[in-house]
Amino acid sequence: MNYRPMTLDDHAAAVALWQRTPGVRLRDADSFEGITRYLARNPGLSIVAEQDEALIGTIMAGHDGHRGFIQHLAVAEPYRKQGIGTALVSRCLDALRAEGIDKAHLMLLVDNDAGKRFWTTLGWEFRTDIALHSFVLSDSPSA
């Protein structure tokens, strides 16, 4: 298994993986332009796993200078339960730590019980004290 930073060349394969992965919700921000912007703002923080040069796992992260934000953790079904998801998270957190970030958040779809179990097993706290609020700034939101 090879782990390396995500590049724009991974976009098509990553979108294909996300499209067939329940638990990952695709957004306008996942367009080629959106990912171009995201990777440019957050270099080295998004990571892919590849086997025989095929992309089989992803994790994306960015930060605002204080907190890290993780999204799009996905491992292709035949490769699950081999520690690849855990390895992606670990590498991603190392990259955030190297940027001086000491805490990270992630959003999980409320019906993703397996995802919730995965993150809880890794020690991530499910927050009941915070409610997420969102606001759309343009007619065609990119996030």
- Tell me which DSSP letter residue 54 carries: E
Q: Does 80 bind ligand COA (CB under 6 A)?
A: yes
Among 13, 15, 104, 108, binds ligand COA (CB under 6 A): 108
Among 35, 75, 92, 95, binds ligand COA (CB under 6 A): 75
Distance, in Å, from the CA atom of 81 to the CA atom of 72, rounded to the nearest integer, reads: 17
Of the two residues 103 and 138, which places its CB atom closer to ligand COA in the complex?
A: 103
- Cα dihedral sign, 74-25-29-107: negative
Of the two residues 4 and 117, which places its CB atom closer to ligand COA in the complex?
A: 117
Binding positions for ligand COA, 13-72, rule CB under 6 A: 21, 23-24
Radius of gyration of the CA atoms of the chain, in A: 15
Residue 69 in tokens: 């934000």
Q: Are 55 and 49 in contact (CB under 8 A)?
A: yes
Instruction: Provide the binding-site residues for ligand COA, judged by CB under 6 A.
Output: 21, 23-24, 73-75, 80-86, 106, 108, 112, 114-115, 117-118, 121
